[in-house]
Amino acid sequence: MPILWLILIVFAIAAVGFFLGRSRALHSSGGDSRGLHSLPFYYGANVALKTAVPAFGLMIIWLLVQPLYVNSQVSEMIPDSAVKEGSSRSLVMAEVRRTASGLNNAIAQGHLTEDMVNNARADITDMTQRLKDAGQVVTAEITQPVLRAAQSYRTLTSTGYSIMNVGVILVALLGAGAGWLQTSSEYRARNVVEQGVSVLLFGAASIAILTTIGIVLSLVFNTWEFFKLYPATEFFFGTTWAPSFSGRGGSSSLGIIPLLWGTFYISLVALLVAVPIGLFAAIYLSEYASPRVRSFAKPMLEVLAGIPTIVYGLFALLTVGPLLLGVFGDEGLGWMKAGTAVMTAGLVMGIMLIPFVSSLSDDIINAVPQAMRDGSYGLGATQSETIRQVVLPAALPGIVGAILLAASRAIGETMIVVLGAGAAARLSLNPFEAMTTVTAKIVSQLTGDADFASPEALVAFALGMTLFILTLGLNIFALYIVRKYREQYE
């Protein structure tokens, strides 16, 4: 029975429970809803919640735990002799799983029957051939132990699912029964339902947090693996970035400094573009623009924030790069060799960041109380004196926060760098030279065909971890500043 059916059945039980609970509550007060503690709806919802929540909880836990259990059971069945030299038990298990799903598909297509599959003395070569005929992916000749394991994998899994189906439906029925029995005019269904809802909301919030923790943990473990293979001091203080994909370990030099420098340099150029333009735009929009201009210009500016970064990347590659090359290249000033350079990526990234800076700063400038401006005008200050000497100083902490948020955005940006700045990791001061950033290198380290256990691939996690800590630090700092600013007027 597919999971979808199970879900629908639980919902059906919950729906029936809802109406039964509701009518039982009304019945217990003699049909007058005023005699009830809560509205009839809450009694129904109480039964429905008690039906669905434990049932779905059991289902989710079962779906998470069963594969682990089946895997460990089956993997015990494989004798050590079946694990070939240079291979590992997990690779054999992958083959077992592939065979099991191949068998399933073959049965579904009618090439094999249930009996043939479960027959312990099935002919190996025949089975392999039949699987191939059924169009299933079979990497090698299936060996006896693998077939055995696949067979028991299938039976264990399907028994597991059958038990789960029965269990979930049973729990749903029990929950509905319990909720229904509780229902009486005295029962505080409203409080129980509201508590249940708050638990659901808590669950939703914790999923976000747990995911973050999961991401961080996976980064941490892989980084740890990397540092077991590659010395941390060389990673953090090495000044060359030259990964080799042929060799193992020692032949690559994986120093992060050139990448950090590229990241820093490109972000700096981007901020030099974005901060003045964004800030001036914000000042114009919040202080000088008439409501009509504002209602038109602000959304226009925010459209910039909605453009996918790959489009900015194309803009950098096809428009800004050649344009800069025309001015600073060999035909012009002769400082620039190719269209991809720190300057190209930085300028385009700066354009991308303008709406971040302007939109946040605009909100912050608007949050400066009108009383401040009135006070200044009342002393005979002009509008620009008021902005320079009262509004901006009052908004400064918030503006700094906005700039830091934009900076962390710049540090994490990838596509513009890949297309605009080139791929060469270089320590140089010339902004017209190609450089690359941490993010761009993470992409190139993981998109090759490198073995995931090699330092060349694992370095991506160490780079990601470094980047994560950098942007996290910046974000926390920015939030701290923004929060401190908020306290000033409330």
- Footprint of other proteins on this chain (CB under 8 A)? 369, 371-382, 385, 389-390, 393-394, 488
Instruction: Write the single-letter amino acid at 179.
Output: G
The minimum distance between CB 392 and other proteins, in angstroms, equals 11
**3-class state of residue 254 by DSSP:** strand
Our CB check for other proteins shows the closer of 123 and 374 to be 374
b/e 273-293 (16+ beta carbons within 10 angstroms → b): bbbebbbebbbebbbebeeee
The minimum distance between CB 483 and other proteins, in angstroms, equals 16
Inter-residue contact 235 to 459 (CB < 8 Å): yes
Count CA within 13 A, CB hemisphere, residue 470: 18
The minimum distance between CB 363 and other proteins, in angstroms, equals 18
The minimum distance between CB 279 and other proteins, in angstroms, equals 18
Structure tokens at 52: 């669905």
The minimum distance between CB 275 and other proteins, in angstroms, equals 22
Residue 254 dihedral angles phi and psi, to the nearest 5° = -120, 70
Inter-residue contact 324 to 339 (CB < 8 Å): yes
The minimum distance between CB 361 and other proteins, in angstroms, equals 17
The minimum distance between CB 286 and other proteins, in angstroms, equals 14
Inter-residue contact 266 to 342 (CB < 8 Å): yes
Residue 241 dihedral angles phi and psi, to the nearest 5° = -120, 100
Our CB check for other proteins shows the closer of 14 and 390 to be 390
Q: What is the largest CA-CA distance in the chain?
A: 100
DSSP 436-475: --HHHHHHHHHHS---TTSHHHHHHHHHHHHHHHHHHHHH
Our CB check for other proteins shows the closer of 251 and 382 to be 382
Our CB check for other proteins shows the closer of 242 and 371 to be 371
Our CB check for other proteins shows the closer of 307 and 396 to be 396
Inter-residue contact 294 to 283 (CB < 8 Å): no
Cα separation of 111 and 131, whole Å? 8
Our CB check for other proteins shows the closer of 112 and 481 to be 481
The minimum distance between CB 371 and other proteins, in angstroms, equals 4
Our CB check for other proteins shows the closer of 276 and 375 to be 375
Residue 113 dihedral angles phi and psi, to the nearest 5° = -110, 165
Nearest to 425 by CA among 466, 471, 463: 463
The minimum distance between CB 239 and other proteins, in angstroms, equals 45
Our CB check for other proteins shows the closer of 452 and 489 to be 489
Our CB check for other proteins shows the closer of 340 and 376 to be 376
Cα separation of 354 and 278, whole Å? 5
